Amino acid sequence: MLLPGQRTAKVKRAGTLRENMVKAYGGALIAVDIFMILLKIFYYIGEGIYRLFVPVEEKSVAGETVLVTGAGHGIGKELALKYASLGATVVCWDLNQQGNDETVEEIKQLGGVKAYGYKCDVSKRDEVFKVAQKVKEEVGDVTILVNNAGIMPCRTFMDHSQEEIERIFNINVLAHLWTLQAFLPSMIQKNHGHVVALSSMAGIVGLANLVPYCASKFAVRGLMESLQEELRTASPKDNPSQIKFTTIYPYMVDTGLCKNPKIRFPSIMALVSPKEAVVEIVKAQRRNIRELSIPAIWIYVNSFLRCLPETGLVGVIDFLASGVEADS
């Protein structure tokens, strides 16, 4: 028969044994989890390499309703025309009524496609919601939202006025938030949709004479990444979110925004034409590619250079000597 003190000691030993077993079991589970995530990483690396040679088939956009902001000129206009040629119903938004109407007319001349034009200042939330309601009533729910509208004043930081900085952020960042709040709810309700955002290489690399612009384009990257993650984690595992996100980082595109480009090696770093850019943007959206630079190599070059010591990174930037001069 055990004495009280011996009984207490035995209970403690049993408790300690259970705790050690629980810890060991927990440690084993963590080890298994680490092993599984390493396997997944190697699998996804292999899949990524495979997809470099055998790309994902492009999904159809026929019958989708595509809304493009800044559709009156440049990339926005070419995007609207491209989606219309693929059988989508296209909704064109622009503050420039004349340019927007011209885009709509060009689309209608293709024959057999529907196009609608609306004048809208995307920097104003109330106006975005008002025009969005008209689109829902007259066209239907938007299933592909392309946030393209943007401005790019090129000045030294101290030469920017308060009004200009606010305008850059209102158009380049806040407009994305307003259109998303207007059109994302219907996508979530139907668990179907795609959001495309035009950032810039200036959204992953800081450039002189573009400080507010770079800040706005960096913000677009953060917005898209965090919103996709929020929808992913909020959706149930048995019914994951089917809303896709694509962020585009074009190198300098010849749309007139970049008035004084500075390029040391024009043979390999020439301005990209709007038509070239649009082919890659639409292809990325149709393949559900999450992030793409144009040309595609630059996003990989940037990732590699970020691993270098700071002095090495600066040395490469000085060697390439590319960017923009301040507007005169």
Residue 227 structure tokens: 């919103």
Phi, psi of 188 (to 5 degrees): -65, -40
What integer pLDDT is reported at residue 3 of this predicted model? 52
What integer pLDDT is reported at residue 60 of this predicted model? 96
Q: pLDDT per residue over 211-257, tens digit each?
A: 999 999 999 999 999 999 999 999 998 899 999 999 999 988 877 77
Average pLDDT per 10 consecutive residues for the chain, totaling 328 residues: 53 61 70 84 84 85 97 95 96 96 94 91 98 98 97 94 97 98 97 97 93 97 97 92 97 78 80 91 97 93 91 89 83
What integer pLDDT is reported at residue 2 of this predicted model? 47
In one letter, which amino acid is 185?
P
The arrangement of strands across the sheet holding 65-69 comes to: 115-119, 89-94, 65-69, 144-147, 193-198, 243-250, 291-294
Region of 9 please: left (phi>0), alpha (psi -120 to 50) or beta.
alpha
Strands 261-262 and 323-324: antiparallel
Residue 168 · residue 89 · CB < 8 Å: no
What integer pLDDT is reported at residue 41 of this predicted model? 87
What integer pLDDT is reported at residue 185 of this predicted model? 97
What integer pLDDT is reported at residue 261 of this predicted model? 79
What integer pLDDT is reported at residue 262 of this predicted model? 82
CB atoms within 10 A of CB 141: 15
What integer pLDDT is reported at residue 21 of this predicted model? 64
| pTM of structure | 0.87
DSSP string, 164-215: HHHHHHIIIIIHHHHHHHHHHHHHHHHT-EEEEEE--GGGTS--TT-HHHHH
Q: pLDDT per residue over 151-188, tens digit each?
A: 999 999 999 999 999 999 999 999 999 999 999 999 99
How many separate helices (H) and strands (E) can be counted in the chain? 10, 9
Angle ∠(188,191,192) on CA atoms, nearest 5: 105
CB atoms within 10 A of CB 13: 10
Contacting residues for 200 by C-beta, under 8 A, at least 6 apart: 213, 214, 217, 249, 250
Catalytically active residues are 213
